[in-house]
Amino acid sequence: MAVLKDNAYGHGLELMANLASTYGLQKAAVKNLQEAKMISHLFDEILILADHPATQAVSSNISFAAHAFETLLLFPKGTAIHLSIDTGMHRNGVREDKIEAAILRIKERGLNLKGIFTHFRSSDELNSEFFWQQANFERAKVLVKELLKKHGLPSIAFHSCNSAGLLRTQSLGSDDFARCGIAMYGYTTLHPMIETPALKPVLSLWAQKLSTRTIKQGERVGYGGIYEATCDEVISTYDIGYGDGFFRFDGHGELFLANQQTIKGRMSMDSFCTGGDAQEICMFEDATALAKHFRTISYEIITKLSPTLKRVVI
């Protein structure tokens, strides 16, 4: 299941959905109904992970994640759902002792139960919590299969692995599919001591030149004049800023671009300055270094990129 939520992690929802479909993927996961409708023609099933129940009829290939027992009262009859099981993350999901009550409610309300799933809290970390949660989900699966038979309900799909879980185990186990997100885009958060395939980030961010000038020694650049030239130098301004979703660099310290040049001075809303006069410049090919600079994770760097930025497949 290709996880395409949040504008495909900033890569462009429709673009990445078309690529995923072209490569033969038949299932996708998105954040909300708006995203699901945009790509519903491309997949056999689309799972909405983080939206409230729809009040209107939706396409038959769209399913909703049901994250709580109480939520089951809100779905209209006939809604396709995947029930979330809390196996230890304690963010969403029905606890094991509530599973039978949930299945009874699903049957009473005429909901279409298509799947049972969970989410791992530590699949990328060097500890045993991943295996503990796996064991909890396996136990829940046995219970669910017994309850489906007991209450005359059809068989369903089971899924648990995120990118880190799949890369760590190299197997679906007894699951039907995995929900692969960040790894599709070339990143992994696995602990370095866990063997990981070499992944290549698929997105690079390029800026186009707006203007060029020569500044003299002692002249300062941008808001607050943070950067001061130590000699006469050529400075160019490029068309990406924090308004485009790139993190706001405050001009202090050094922020390196892909070619190891630095941003000169404070980043503006719609532009930044750097040395030289190249017509275009690559801001990053791998978000990992930027994530370290801004003390965050690669997910945040790429998902913040504005949907209005032009995206081109090469």
Q: Which of 149, 150, 223, 292 is catalytic?
A: 223
How many Å apart are CA 58 and CA 303, to the nearest integer? 27
Chain CA centroid to CA 136, Å:
25
Secondary structure (DSSP) of 210-273: EEEEEE-TT-EESGGG-EE-SS-EEEEEES--GGGT-----SSS--B-TTS-BB-S---SS-EE
Q: From the candidates 5, 27, 141, 264, which is the catalytic residue?
A: 5
| Terminal CA-CA length for the chain | 24
What is the DSSP secondary structure assignment for residue 133, as one 8-state letter? H
Q: Which of 56, 55, 57, 59 lies closest to 30, judged by CA?
A: 59
**Rounded CA separation 93/117 (Å):** 9
Is there a catalytic annotation at residue 5?
yes
Q: Is 299 a residue of the active site?
A: no
Q: Which of the residues are catalytic? A: 5, 223
